[in-house]
Amino acid sequence: MEIAQEKRRGLGRGLSALIPPRPAEESSSARGALQLPLEEVLPGDGQPRQRFDEARLTELADSIRAHGVIQPILVRRRGGQYEIVAGERRWRAAQKAGLKSIPAVVSDVAEKDALTIALVENLQREDLNPIEEAEAFHRLHEQLGYSQQEIADAVGKDRATVANSLRLLKLPNAVRGQVLDGELSMGHARAILALDEPGEMEKLGREVVAKRWSVRQTERATQPAQPRRKGAGRETDAERDVRQRLQRALGTRVDVHHRNGKGTLVVHFASYAELEGLLQRLGA
């Protein structure tokens, strides 16, 4: 199957449309799958998952130890070994469970199709980290030429969701790492994207984690100042620095107005509870 000719027909019909028919001897049931030695099976290049949840992997291993691998993995021949196209979690859990072999369906999948299947299968599981998901979308677009709409159709999401996910790749590596580690949510990451400079993004990311800010607090810390009052002049670099430092320290929007050596400081809050939190931060 040639990806350039088949992708538009396959994407709208789900993952099964991308997987070539099984050989006749394997088509009757899962019992017809081959038993492959685990050491002959290797992870595929298309795996978007960078972190595997050890607790969930242990649960799957316990289930496999009790009931076996119910659904065969999908592999393709690569030299004298087999490359996983779909089912790496089952393979890892089978190793953890102490199995020596695993049921597998061997299919003649082209390299580009193998990448598509691996990415889409994991994206459809809906348990990828936001950064892993964004990088998978990026690979589908850059390496395989899918449009945002085609990606959305393939994984059952709307195009805006795909577009917002791809924006996360504008984050510096340090902030991406915080999202991968679960220290920052996608909401936090999207709020941090409101800043322009990578250094400022990294600085805010550290503060959000250290102070355990909510998404709303993070959003307020990145909001621009309100238009300056008539006659106040343009905001200087020093004033901008003071405003941004105060916003990060307090976790809310701050406006600084300065004129003729005097000025006012306006601290915004949305509820009495937030005001109490501000007072606690100020030691009042």
Burial of 183: CB neighbours in 10 Å, binned 0-12, 13-18, 19+: middle
In this structure, what token pair is assigned to residue 276? 């109490």
Q: Single out the catalytic residue among 83, 88, 150, 202.
A: 88
In which band, very low, low, confident or very high, does the pLDDT at 189 lie, cut at 50, 70 and 90?
Answer: very high
In contact, 131 and 180? CB cutoff 8 Å: yes
- State residue 45's pLDDT score: 74
Mean pLDDT along residues 182-209: 91
Range 52-75 average pLDDT: 88
Instruction: Kindly tell me if the per-residue pLDDT of 151 is higher than 80.
Output: yes
Please enumerate, as own/partner, the contacts of 32-37 that have beta carbons within 8 Å and a separation of 24 or more.
33/72, 33/103, 33/104, 33/105, 34/103, 34/104, 34/105, 34/106, 35/101, 35/102, 35/103, 35/104, 36/75, 36/82, 36/101, 36/102, 36/103, 36/104, 37/100, 37/101
What pLDDT was estimated at residue 243? 79
Q: Is 219 a catalytic residue?
A: no
pTM beyond 0.95, yes or no: no
Domain ranges of the chain: 3-128, 171-281
pLDDT in tens, 222-244: 876 555 555 555 677 777 777 77
The better pLDDT of the pair 116, 139 is held by: 139
Residues 6-40: tens digit of each pLDDT: 444 444 444 454 444 444 333 334 555 889 999 99
The residue among 35, 43, 41, 39 whose CA lies nearest residue 69 is 35
The pLDDT, as a whole number, for residue 122 is: 75
Q: Does domain 3-128 have CATH number 3.90.1530.30?
A: yes
